Amino acid sequence: MKQILVYGDSLSWGIVPGTRRRLTFSQRWPGILEAELLRTGRAVRVIEDCLNGRRTVWDDPFKPGRNGLNGIEQRIEINSPLALVILMLGTNDFQSVHQHNASHSAQGIASLVRAIRRAPIEPDMPVPEILIVAPPQTATPTGTMAEKFSTARENSAGLSAAFSSIAAELKCQFFDAARIIAASAVDGVHLDADQHEILGRHVVDPVKKL
């Protein structure tokens, strides 16, 4: 059985837009990915490591533990052997407490890729392949998301292109989720259940190739 680690934030954790509830595993895109791969005869297990508010490499000034770089090498070691790591981060890099642009976030992704590749796995275990997924652009944030993501859409302009460039530079696979899904109209940030369904099914082919 091959293991796949999804390393992400609330978009992959499956928060229900406008609430603090969570979609079930079978509704979240990592669960849909696993089900589709199993259905096609692939013996896989998808492991979720998704934390609300996680940045690529920056701290949340109000909540501890949201820096995605901290501890990622140990997470690779814990879950080894891994065939693949899927990185879907970046949305929280553009919270209003930060003044980052797409290039900064892409460099954050690059730091995560390098950390994954230097993780202290056992000698007979493979260094996992890496698939970088660019999240959809934040829409007009509403409700509790309004202030937190007030500048996100403007600051994240060009994120997919920046992630694609970094993926090519570091010889990672790339998938642009922004081409097929969009942030919920309910809060402007998270994903509705139907968008999880679309993403989970569309990621199957690039994962199968890896």
For residue range 7-62, list pLDDT tens digits in order.
Answer: 999 999 999 999 999 999 999 999 999 999 999 999 999 999 999 999 999 999 99
Mean model confidence pLDDT for the chain: 98
Residue 23 has what pLDDT? 98
Chain-centre distance for alpha carbon 14: 11
Q: How many CB atoms lie within 10 A of CB 195?
A: 20
Backbone φ, ψ for residue 48 (5° rounding): -95, 130
Residue 108 has what pLDDT? 99
**What average pLDDT does this structure show over 150-177?**
98
**What average pLDDT does this structure show over 159-173?**
98
pTM for the whole structure: 0.98
Alpha-carbon distance 56 to 87, whole Å? Answer: 9
